[in-house]
Chain A
Amino acid sequence: MPLLDIQNLSVDFKTASGPFRAVDGVSMTVDAGEIVSIVGESGSGKSVSMLALMGLLPWTATITADRMLFDGHELAGLSARQRRRIVGKDMAMIFQEPMSSLNPCFTVGFQIGEALKVHLKLDRKARRRRVIELLEMVGIPAAAERVDAFPHQLSGGMSQRVMIAMAIACQPKLLIADEPTTALDVTIQAQILELLMQLQSETGMGLVLITHDMGVVAETAHRVSVQYAGQKVEEQAVAGLFADPHHPYTAALLAALPERATSRRLPSIPGVVPGQFDRPTGCLFSPRCKFATERCVTKVPPVQGRQAGYALCHYPLAGGRPVGHPGPGATIHPDLQEVA
């Protein structure tokens, strides 16, 4: 049985201008000890689905799911109190902005120790010992002194290490890292990723890595889930994804990697992720897809089988070619063809 099993998760936000579906029927599983990466552009609902899992969305959000099993427990029907026993203990999360994610009014030791106090009921002395131990685990030098430091006395990288220490304080079974390196310097990014990998292999916890950086995915993940506009468009093991992407969006993301650029200009995906008011009918990626045909615009694409990476597409790619595609003449975006 997988550690985390989400089936058909949707999140709707009530907004002043009507409802907005941020996550649309996403399914995913994470096994114990597995690293699953969720990739996609900004606004593709990567963070929202994980925040929904953690119960951290505001009251304007409505969460529906066929199944939301974590460690054998169904999360959907839990009361807030019951969920708080799991959140922060067995399931923890770190965020994008380490500097603003720490409370400026309290010492690092206090903030890490809180989880130990609430979930494990450790006394003051035991908490302090464990906090120092945790700080050493995440590679903070002079941990015994840093316990009493305030967040503003730490750099961004140090703050993220503290956030990680806080998250792993109760030895969670699942750690969700929401773009943990986006706000950091490139050199620090590598260190933080390395630390996460090391802790993951030492503790055997499941790790969900939300990112938009394909380079990070290639180096860390076992399995990748690609999201677009709130939908999961493809899911594959990492090697297969890089070798043979099945969804045109995945292919376009990979083609946009600077390392893979062959022309003088870096390739890009034209347009932006559709928002609340410009949601296309049919396939959500069709306005930006170079293979899109009339059918893509009018009919909602099916989920392909395992062989085709569960691609949400009428013409899933195989070896870079769209299967079943009527040919270049049928595409509705000939201009995109030329750019590519």
Chain B
Amino acid sequence: MFGFLFRRIGLVIPTFIGVSLVAFFLIRLLPGDPILLMAGERGLSPERYAELMGRYGFDRPIWEQYAGYLGSLIQGDFGTSIITKKPVFEEFFALFPATVELSICAMIFAVVLGIPAGVVAAVKRGSGFDHGLMATALVGYSMPIFWWALLLIIVFSGILQWTPVSGRISLLYFFPSVTGFMLIDSLISGQKGAFASAASHLILPTIVLGTIPLAVIARQTRSAMLEVLSEDYIRTARAKGLSPFRVVGVHALRNALIPVITTIGLQIGVLIAGAILTETIFSWPGIGKWMVDSIFRRDYPAVQGGLVLIALMVMVVNLIVDMLYGLINPKIRHTR
């Protein structure tokens, strides 16, 4: 187990360097620079421009800049935002809980609906439910997030007025942030209606962000279940006189979960990418929205730091997922 862990962490290092490289150079490929954008419409004199470029170190050769950046990254220094003058690390983690809260809700939504739907589709293979679900999943997977979000807003917030359009909670409520998770904080505050307000703000973003993972998980569960259901040990379980519910829910599902968990792990990256669009549309104050804003401001340190931190998160989650396999199927635990 520890050997495996070390090998996996060893793999993280080159990935980390690669991500820092991409993050560093991609943002610099965009036209414009932070100094010009700060100056705004009126512009600034060439002398002042050169002075500011020098202050932030943007006049140095690009390789030197990257080496310096990587050096401070390794020491845990993610730089300071040019716009807000706050450390990137601090900004990131101030906004991170909002994204985590939304992502967790979206994932729960996707898993809670996707796994049972996939199981039922596999058991009732070829039925109307099976065909209907697979068609719906394909549509869900193919739908552009922003379009789907706007559609839901028009119907549920605009026409039906069931849910709020944007934000995390109604402006009527104010309470200090304890955990950063609005659902928990609103409960702690004890204010009447705060939790309901926070929850109602979460509904649409959760559905929008969870749709693609839902479609992927449902399809993956179905195909994994189909494979497992034809295994010899399923026949053994049925030969014991177990109920179909137990055969499918215990004997088959446990085996089918391995590829499903892999998929869930891989969806974390998709979730973050989706969060950028979802947060922007719903004005959700998380890192997705913050990243988009930072890109518009050409806030190099914020974009770089954000990318690297997100990549780190995804790597950690995938590492955890890999270690989960052994918990589900002990055979994998022992052969590693």
Contact = CB atoms under 8 A, between A and B. Distances in A.
Contacts of A115: 240-241
Contacts, number: 78
Given A106-B254, A152-B331, A101 B240 contact: no
Given A56-B239, A84-B241, A119-B241, 8 more contacts: A87-B238, A87-B240, A101-B236, A103-B254, A105-B330, A106-B254, A111-B236, A118-B242
Contacts of B241: 84-89, 115, 118-119
A166 B240 contact: yes
Interface stretch (B136-144, B201-209, B227-235, B307-315): B227-235
A320 to B, nearest CB: 41
Nearest to B252: A103
Interface stretch (A14-22, A31-39, A91-99, A259-267): A91-99
A105 B255 contact: yes
Q: How large is the interface on B (under 10, 10 to 19, 20 to 34, 35 or more residues)?
A: 20 to 34
Nearest to B243: A84
Interface of A: 54, 56, 80, 84-89, 92-93, 95, 97, 100-106, 111, 114-115, 118-119, 150, 152-153, 163, 166-167
Given A106-B254, A150-B331, A152-B331, A101 B235 contact: yes
Contacts of B246: 118
A100 B233 contact: yes
A95 B334 CA distance: 26
A100 B240 contact: no
Interface in B282-336: 328-331, 334
B237 interface: yes
Contacts of A111: 236
30 contacts: A56-B235, A56-B238, A80-B244, A85-B241, A86-B241, A87-B239, A87-B240, A88-B239, A88-B241, A95-B239, A97-B232, A100-B231, A102-B236, A103-B236, A103-B237, A104-B255, A104-B330, A105-B251, A105-B328, A105-B330, A111-B236, A114-B237, A114-B242, A118-B240, A118-B241, A118-B242, A118-B246, A150-B330, A152-B334, A166-B236
A54 B240 CA distance: 10
Contacts of B328: 105
A163 B240 contact: no
A92 B233 contact: no
Given A104-B255, A114-B240, A119-B241, A95 B331 contact: no
Contacts of B236: 95, 101-103, 111, 163, 166
A100 B231 CA distance: 7
Contacts of A153: 334
A34 B126 CA distance: 43
